[in-house]
Amino acid sequence: MMKTDNPYQHLIEALTPPSGEIDSFIELGSILRSLDPQRINGLLLDLLHVVRERGSLPAQREGNVYLCRTDQFSLMLRFSGQGGRQPVYTANEFDAFVLNLSPNDVHIPRLECGLDRNNLHQRPPSLKRRDSDLVLKAHDVYDAPAFGDIIDIAAATPIAPLLIVHSPPRAHSTWTFDRDTLEPLQQVSTDLHASRMQMVLQLLQAMQQIDGLEEPLAKMVHSNMAGFARWDALKLLHRCAPQQALTALHQMAHSDRDASLREAARATLARTMDGDAA
């Protein structure tokens, strides 16, 4: 059994198998489906008791109330039809299970997302609105795989409590889409450290302060950091040490662990060779 000082320990215990260990995130889906209405009502009452004792829920983020995090999953509470209209749609970088805690069916608008999780550097197609809503039955569970359909919980009806269990991030980045046109807008970071480093790189580029940065840029290119930040570092390295950047590009194309970077590096080399041939 996982031990924690979290006041929502009862929720963690409800998601822990008899063995005390979770073999895989997928196992949590089976555990959620095994909860009968009486057990779900009991969890809700326990949650309300904690809220009453503490005087409030934990801090909210975009309508999501995070209850606890473990190495294997995060647990949050969300109310359908609440949380406000976000300016963009964002493809979900987590695998998730959504449990309808209410005795009522919940109708959730959904959009087809054509993102290729193995090639996130490629611009994805536009979203497509599904002809019918997702109908999440009372006390039922919905599987939401990373980069699959986007479900618009804020636009769902009626208002109902949903328990969401999600995995650690399955990628360092995802994409946002225009809410009206459904066109892809930009690739965004889900890695806080990498996004900060990317911001520093963009600032250095804007200030044209890259002289003498060959060594730290090369280290960043060959680091374990998110691919998008390493790619930006490679582009800056090319400006201050072109030959060193070309060597790194060949290495990346041949054996980089990130499939997206390997493909991007190979495409860049191919364009370079075509240009030389011309």
142 vs 229: which has the higher pLDDT: 142
Closest CA to 97 of 19, 29, 194, 180: 29
Cβ atoms of residues 219 and 164 within 8 Å: no
Cβ atoms of residues 165 and 74 within 8 Å: yes
Q: What is the per-residue pLDDT for 223?
A: 86
Q: What is the per-residue pLDDT for 1?
A: 41
Angle at CA of residue 90, ends 144 and 99, nearest 5° = 30
The pLDDT confidence band at residue 5, using thresholds 50, 70 and 90, is low
- The residues that bridge with 78 in the sheet, in sequence order, are 64, 162
Using one digit for the tens of pLDDT, what is the confidence trace for 187-211? 887 776 666 777 777 777 676 767 7
The pLDDT confidence band at residue 278, using thresholds 50, 70 and 90, is very low
Instruction: Tell me: pLDDT of 160 over 50.
Output: yes
CA distance 76 to 165: 7
**CATH 2.60.120.10 placement within the chain:** 9-189
Structure tokens at 271: 């364009």
Mean pLDDT across the chain: 83
Chain-centre distance for alpha carbon 128: 20
Alpha-carbon separation of residue 99 from 135, 141, 165 (angstroms): 12, 4, 8
Average the pLDDT over each of 13-27, 54-68, 124-138, 185-199 and give the range with the smallest value.
54-68
Using one digit for the tens of pLDDT, what is the confidence trace for 251-270? 999 999 888 788 889 989 98
The pLDDT confidence band at residue 108, using thresholds 50, 70 and 90, is very high
45 vs 171: which has the higher pLDDT: 171
The pLDDT confidence band at residue 2, using thresholds 50, 70 and 90, is very low
Using one digit for the tens of pLDDT, what is the confidence trace for 16-39? 766 666 668 888 888 888 888 888
CA distance 81 to 84: 8
CATH code: domain 9-189 is: 2.60.120.10
